[in-house]
Every structure is written in C-alpha cells, then in structure tokens.
Amino acid sequence: MKPELLGPLPEPFELLVSVLGAAFLSVLGVYIEYLAVVTVQGSGEATFGYWAVVPGLVRLGFAYLLTVDRVLPTLAGSRKQVAGRDRRHYGFGMLPRLSRLPFSAVSNHGGRSTDPTPPTVV
C-alpha cells in the first residue's frame, strides 16, 4: 500500500476513537449515577449508593475533559481546513454577508448607525 494513501488516516481515526471513548464514558457515568440513585431509593443501601456517585462523576468528568481537550480542538482544526478551501463547493458561497445587506441590524461601526437622522416612530 502506498504511504500517500495512509497519510490522512491517523487524524480521523484519532477523532473517531476520542468520540467513541467520550460517548462510552458518558453512558457509563450516567448508568452508574442511575445505579446509585436506584440503590439509595430502592434498596435503602445508602453507603453503596453514595459511594457509587463518585465513580459516576469521575467518568462523566473524564468524558467532559476528553471532549474538550481532544474532540473539540480537532473539529475546530478540521473546520479551519474546510474554511480554507473553496467555500462555494460546500454551498456557503451563495449566502450573503449580513453586514452587506442594506436592512441588516449588523453594522461594522460597533452598533452605531452612520445615519444622523433618528428613526421615526409610527
């Protein structure tokens, strides 16, 4: 196999593994939290139920950190790469910029209108 074909594979594979890992940790954390609540309410074993809260929160925390540290920066980098390409290819070239529309509330002057006449109230 040619090395040129394998060049772009590691980044999407890493993204896939990170997304699947974060999803798995999230589902596992939610399940452990559910188990903790059911244990405290149903069987009355408060010690085990309250103990189970900690591992559930740890897994949810790791899922959050994995998402913030790995997944979101990778997606932001991919978005910048796509933005560097021809925008018309992805269908964004036809959209007008809001600041160029004559009736737009968005202005390039920090929110100040350049028209000296005040708006009329009907």
pLDDT digits (tens, 9 = 90+) for 9-47: 778 888 899 999 999 999 999 999 999 999 988 887 888
**pTM score:** 0.57
How do residues 88-100 score in pLDDT, each as one tens digit? 444 444 444 444 5
How many Cβ atoms from other residues are within 10 Å of residue 40's Cβ? 17
Q: Residue 45: name the closest of 37, 57, 33, 34 by CA.
A: 37
Tokens of 76: 């932001």
d(CA 22, CA 12): 15
Q: Which residues of 106-122 are buried (b: 16+ CB within 10 A; e: fewer)?
A: eeeeeeeeeeeeeeeee
Domain boundaries, the chain: 8-81
Return the amino acid letter for 72: L
Determine the Cα angle at 86 with ends 100 and 8, to 5°: 140
